[in-house]
């Protein structure tokens, strides 16, 4: 070939950029741990104890969450070792069922799972930064609330603004390359893991209270102060944890919303498989090590709460800040500042991991012609910059909605001093939206192990799912039970998640047709 022909060929065919395999086992484990630990462990135990009504119930909820999480992670290890490609869970669903199922996951991930989690964590970051900087408050308005329905409004408070800025800042930062994102992740994950360990050690060794220990462990399973659980829509009975087996089962399932959300995002490492040095070994190992470490710390943190605070104080911790209330027994008023710093570090590092990983799924979708073409290209730093920015913008939009607070009769709550309507944030609703949608796809993905063993019996499987087939089946049964209870008793916040999944079907056919048309045009 002549020199001029070579030059023309080089000009005609742009260089195909590829991901850099820059993540080792430690880095991968840091993504698992860092994506899991946010602000939830410091807050959601209050709501859990109001639902289950006993110290034993609180610990049992976290143990069940741990079993579910570790079981799912060990099952995902088989799929990750079998298909170590960028996009992770999207690829598993595509290969097990069809491209449509992969798309429905990616679509839901973009609209609510990943971006909703990023938004919730961003709100948590701003909420605790407001303890250090009082101007950052949900009541300091830049744009006052605009009511858009009986239950929701949109606004921009100083707290929301900080949440938005933090999300966009990390999104831009991660466009500068994997190495920078990895350094931030490792630094903040190390800091927040050590901080959580410190809380546990200080709480158990220095903060234990004879009164709290007696109140909680002498009446370990005694239900008291449990909130009734009202069905949102379906004609099923109101129940409570003290109302027999059905009441206890419903309370446990609804309580899983907070604990599962706090333990979620462990699967994000599968999204980055194209950047892991030895994915067939390191992804299954990082899933097992990361989830095992976090669940152990979460359970021990709740033991610390129980030896420091009587159950009633956990149930009614101011603003649900259980960890702050616990540390106040040792450090007094300074506890609020200490916990604010810990949670600021924790949420910032958590969102970095979520932002870094999520864009890799949109990249894989675009490569299949099922998302915006620009998200399937890598920038000069070899990261999917357009996907990162697009994800950041949508997550920032999800920070803007507010809930309109109402009393038991449905009347809007007014500030007694000013008479102005009061608003909450979307944090707890985002938990419900995210958890239900996540469980749908976790069940489908783990069921995909059975499908792929039948469809591809001879495919290389460097790692096989622990306890197959019994353990994966038990996970599916438990997860489906939680989903059914949430559909019955948290209908208002679970049906939108299901609707988003279903709306993805016509969108899939639009993208599929567009992709086919583009391919036909290229052939011509």
pLDDT computed for residue 520 by the predictor: 54
Q: pLDDT tens, 104-135?
A: 999 999 998 899 889 989 988 998 999 999 99
**Model confidence at 485: pLDDT above 60:** yes
Kindly state whether residue 10 falls inside one of the protein's structural domains: no
Q: How far apart are CA 298 and CA 311, in angstroms?
A: 17
Q: How far is residue 466 from each of residues 62, 210, 276, 290, measured CA to CA in Å? A: 21, 41, 22, 16
Domain count, the chain: 1
DSSP 50: H
The pLDDT value recorded for residue 431 is: 61
pLDDT attached to residue 377: 94
Give yes or no for a contact between 33 and 193, defined as CB atoms under 8 angstroms apart. yes
The pLDDT-based confidence of 44 (bands split at 50, 70, 90) is very high
Domain that holds residue 419: 28-458+486-513
Residue recorded with tokens 């001029």: 4
- Is the pLDDT at 20 greater than 70? The verdict is yes
pLDDT of residue 426: 64
Burial class (CB in 10 A: 0-12, 13-18, 19+), 118: buried
Neighbours of 86 (CB within 10 A): 23
Per-residue model confidence as pLDDT tens digits over 302-348: 999 999 999 999 999 998 899 999 999 999 999 999 999 999 999 99
For residues 361 and 267, the answer to whether their CB atoms sit within 8 Å is: no
Pairwise pLDDT comparison (417 vs 261), residue with the higher score: 261
Mean pLDDT confidence for 495-506:
87
Question: Which secondary-structure segment (H or E) carries 199?
Answer: helix 178-205
Strand, helix or coil for residue 234: coil
Structural tokens at position 507: 């969108």
Q: For residue 8, how many other CB atoms are within 10 A of its CB?
A: 12
In 3-state terms, the chain is what percent helix, strand and coil (to 5)?
70, 5, 25
pTM: 0.90
In three state form, how does the secondary structure of 394-449 look?
Answer: HHHHHCCEEEECECCCCCECECCCCCCECEEECHHHHHHHHHHHHHHHHHHHHHHH
Residue 518 lies in a domain: no
Residue 114 within a domain: yes
- In which band, very low, low, confident or very high, does the pLDDT at 16 lie, cut at 50, 70 and 90? low
Judge whether 361 lies within some domain. Answer: yes
Compute CA 192 distance to the chain's CA centroid, rounded to the nearest angstrom.
Answer: 17
pLDDT cut 70: percent of the chain above it = 93
Report residue 233's pLDDT band, with 50, 70 and 90 as the boundaries.
confident
Does position 483 have pLDDT exceeding 60, yes or no?
Answer: yes
Residue 246 neighbours by CB under 8 Å, 6+ apart? 239
DSSP state letters, 293-346: HHHHHHHHHHHHHHHHS-HHHHHT-GGG-HHHHHHHHHHTTHHHHHHHHHHHHH
- Which token pair is 88? 């992770």
DSSP per residue over 66-109, as a string?
Answer: HHHHHHHHHHHHHHHHH---TTTHHHHHHHHT-HHHHHHHHHHI
- 254 falls within a domain: yes
Cβ count near 208 (within 10 Å): 14
Q: Is 136 helix (H, G, I), strand (E, B) or coil?
A: coil
Domain-embedded: residue 126: yes
Reference 263, options 226, 301, 227, 230; nearest CA is 301
The pLDDT assigned to 10 comes to 40
Output the CA angle 442-387-445, nearest 5 degrees.
15
Number of C-beta neighbours around residue 312 at 10 A: 12
The CATH number assigned to the domain holding 233 equals 1.20.1740.10
CA distance 392 to 395: 5
- The answer as to whether 103 is a domain residue is yes
Structure tokens at 505: 């079907």
Predicted confidence at residue 434, as pLDDT, reads 73
Going by the DSSP 8-state scheme, the letter that residue 373 receives in this structure is: G
In the predicted model, is pLDDT for residue 55 greater than 60? yes
φ, ψ dihedrals at 382, nearest 5°: 65, 40
Peptide bond connecting 469 to the previous residue in cis, omega within 30 degrees of 0: yes
Tokens matching residue 484: 């059914």
CB 62 within 8 A of CB 259: yes
Produce one character per residue of 471-504: b if its CB has 16 or more CB atoms within 10 Å, e if not. bbeebbebbeebbebbbbbbeebbbbbbebbeeb
The pLDDT value recorded for residue 480 is 95
Residues above pLDDT 90, as percent of the chain: 69
- Going by pLDDT thresholds of 50, 70 and 90, the confidence category of residue 4 is very low
How far is the C-alpha of 102 from the C-alpha of 306, rounded, in Å? 42
Query: How, if at all, do strands 152-157 and 401-404 pair?
Result: antiparallel
In a domain, 497, yes or no: yes
């Amino acid at each position: 070939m002549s020199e001029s022909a070579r030059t023309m060929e080089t000009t005609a065919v742009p260089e195909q950029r590829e991901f850099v395999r820059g993540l080792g086992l430690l880095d991968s484990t840091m993504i698992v741990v860092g994506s899991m630990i946010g602000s939830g462990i410091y807050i959601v135990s209050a709501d859990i104890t109001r639902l289950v009504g006993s110290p034993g119930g609180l610990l049992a909820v976290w143990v069940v969450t741990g079993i579910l999480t570790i079981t799912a992670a060990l099952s995902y290890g088989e799929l990750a070792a079998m298909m170590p490609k960028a996009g992770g869970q999207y690829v598993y669903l595509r290969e097990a069922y069809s491209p449509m199922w992969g798309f429905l996951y990616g679509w839901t991930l973009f609209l609510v799972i990943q971006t909703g989690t990023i938004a919730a964590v961003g709100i948590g970051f701003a909420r605790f930064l407001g303890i250090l900087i009082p101007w950052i408050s949900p009541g300091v308005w830049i744009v006052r609330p605009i009511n858009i329905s009986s239950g929701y409004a949109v606004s921009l408070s100083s707290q929301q603004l900080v949440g938005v800025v933090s999300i966009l800042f990390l999104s831009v930062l991660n466009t500068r390359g994997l190495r920078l994102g990895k350094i931030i992740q490792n630094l903040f994950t190390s800091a927040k893991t050590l901080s959580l360990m410190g809380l546990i050690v200080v709480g158990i060794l220095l903060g234990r209270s004879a009164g709290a220990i007696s109140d909680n462990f002498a009446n370990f399973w005694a239900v008291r102060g449990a909130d009734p659980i009202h069905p949102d829509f379906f004609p099923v009975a109101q129940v409570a944890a003290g109302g027999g087996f059905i009441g206890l089962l419903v309370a446990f399932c609804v309580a899983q919303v907070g604990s599962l959300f706090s333990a979620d995002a462990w699967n994000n490492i599968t999204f980055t498989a194209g950047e892991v040095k030895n994915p067939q070994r390191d992804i299954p190992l990082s899933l097992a090590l990361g989830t095992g470490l976090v669940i152990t710390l979460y359970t021990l943190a709740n033991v610390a709460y129980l030896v420091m605070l009587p159950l009633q104080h956990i149930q009614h911790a101011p603003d649900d800040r259980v960890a702050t209330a616990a540390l106040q027994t040792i450090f007094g008023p300074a506890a609020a500042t200490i916990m604010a710093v810990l949670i600021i570090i924790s949420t910032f590092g958590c969102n970095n991991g979520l932002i870094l990983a999520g864009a890799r799924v949109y990249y894989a979708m675009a490569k299949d012609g099922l998302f915006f073409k620009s998200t399937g290209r890598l920038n000069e730093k070899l990261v999917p910059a357009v996907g990162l920015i697009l994800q950041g913008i949508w997550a920032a939009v999800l920070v803007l909605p507010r809930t309109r607070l109402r009393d038991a009769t449905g009347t809007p709550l007014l500030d007694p001093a000013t008479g102005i309507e009061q608003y909450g944030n979307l944090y707890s609703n985002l938990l419900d939206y995210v958890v239900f949608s996540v469980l749908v796809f976790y069940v489908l993905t783990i069921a995909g192990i059975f499908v792929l063993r039948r469809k591809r019996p001879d495919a290389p499987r460097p790692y096989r799912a622990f306890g197959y087939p019994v353990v994966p089946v038990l996970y599916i049964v438990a997860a489906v039970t939680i989903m059914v209870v949430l559909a019955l008793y948290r209908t208002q916040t679970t049906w939108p998640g299901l609707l988003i999944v279903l709306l993805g079907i016509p969108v899939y056919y639009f993208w599929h047709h567009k992709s086919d048309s583009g391919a036909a045009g290229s052939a011509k």
